[in-house]
Structure 1
């Protein structure tokens, strides 16, 4: 089985598991028609995959293989054993994604792209895959640059991409975890309750809890907010613009970065 098949298989499995738990134990009542949102959010995800296949000359795994063959990158230059380098690389990539996410909030041109993700007025497992194609494209180039400069082993890239996809779906899901479980898990991992704060309409909360997998970065870099001011049940999800129902259509999402309302 090739890498793409593994990623797709994990995506489908995690999507189904999170969707099942959401249906059985939801955290919040959804405000938008679920079928409509799912069709458009997952449709955008599929479109992004096709665009990457057509426009990218190589993906992160191919970049890692090239770096390995040519022994290019910091971890190769330091002659770190492969097993240790793999662990270091996965953690370093997760930290890099934290900072990338934070920059996409801070730089206006990048926020224009990223707000497509935040314009979803509900948050569930499909929100974790809802991104504008240009953001996905830029993110892939950033990842390729990191992989080559750090000398990330190919196995580390595969592990990281699987963990990243699974984490994004898990922490965006609308599942209701028992509070004791949430308290224990969020010491190390980003939980749905922790990340939901990030999707608040209150900008201070939107600009917090940037992590995708490990929760330590938000505490380390002082961007952690434990709970939303209005509580998880009463908080409003989304951003102040693009709140009309039709804005959840793919065609509208594709043009949101270039419109103010």
Structure 2
């Protein structure tokens, strides 16, 4: 199967389709007004994802599914050692990878060095479908290395890894969409998956809200580990998003966004304070 199709092309096609749908929906059903228009923010966000894609393609051309196939051909991984395969191994692989991404996200907030890089994502003044693209190339490389270690250690089915990668990309776009979803439907959806309202809280300028709702696809991990926040203090329509004026006001610049990890000033508002602070 994987010798006959270009896995990266499949992932890009699925990602592009979901992005187009979300972009159209959020244009017609926006959850909140934008602080900066699309023409100000989108070129930088798209510029970052192009750089990220080129870098990953150059350094890790096989991708996650290719790495899973590489490990499977050599009999590496816990599931291979245990003799687990089929649906059970596939489901466990999917869950383990989703938990691994949740944990990586948590660490990127708690470890100061990683937070400096992750700030690029949070510096956006608004949250919409393109915010899902907004990651510094260094973070993308670190993310791929981490996922690669987990994939090889698990030795799970190649199909499960491919499905996870497609779902992760799609859910990232959905979770960041500036999309108004009926409250009842949102409540129902977030019993299982991360919704735009749930993830938007994570982009709050308030630190105790930024340090919550780390999930990308499944919402269970935040509930299980006590990092779930139900609603933002300031309300979805009026909450302040970003990292404060020292970073967010310049985040629409691609060169500045690439330099954010090296900028010492800026952070999020500490609880009960009006000033910004760095970790």
Q: TM-score, normalised by structure 1?
A: 0.97
Equivalent-residue separation in structure 2 for 1:59 and 1:10 (angstroms)? 15
Which residue of structure 1 lines up, in the alignment, with residue 243 of structure 2? 239
Given the alignment of the two structures, is residue 49 of structure 1 paired with residue 53 of structure 2, yes or no?
yes
Q: Which runs of 5+ in 1 are unaligned?
A: none
Instruction: Provide the residue aligned with 1:25 in structure 2.
Output: 29
Give the Cα separation in 1 of the matches to 2:183 and 2:22: 18
**Which stretch has the larger CA shift, 70-79 or 100-109?**
70-79
RMSD: 1.1
Task: With a CA cutoff of 8 Å and minimum separation of 6, indicate the structure with the bigger relative contact order.
Answer: 1
2: CA distance between counterparts of 1:222 and 1:83? 30
Cα distance in 1, alignment partners of residues 62 and 171 from structure 2: 24
Shift of the alpha carbon at 1:62? 2.0
2:253 is equivalent to residue 249 of structure 1: yes
Q: CA deviation at 1:93?
A: 0.3
Give 1:120's match in structure 2, choosing from 124, 129, 132: 124
Q: Does 1:62 align with 2:66?
A: yes
Task: Name the counterpart of 2:98.
Answer: 94
Cα distance, 1:32 vs structure 2? 0.4
Greater than 2 Å deviation, 4+ residue runs:
55-59
Residue by residue, what CA displacement relative to the aligned partner does 1:146-191 show, whole Å, maximum 9, x if unpaired? 0011112211111011000000000000000000000000000000
1:97-155 Cα distance to aligned partner (Å, 9 max, x none): 10110000000000000010000010000001110000000100101100011112211
For residues 38-187 of structure 1, the aligned pairs below 5 Å read: 38-56=42-60, 58-187=62-191
Instruction: Give yes or no for contact 2:85–2:156 (8 Å, CA) kept in 1.
Output: no
Please give the TM-score of this superposition, normalised by the length of structure 2.
0.91
Deviation, 1:11, is: 1.1
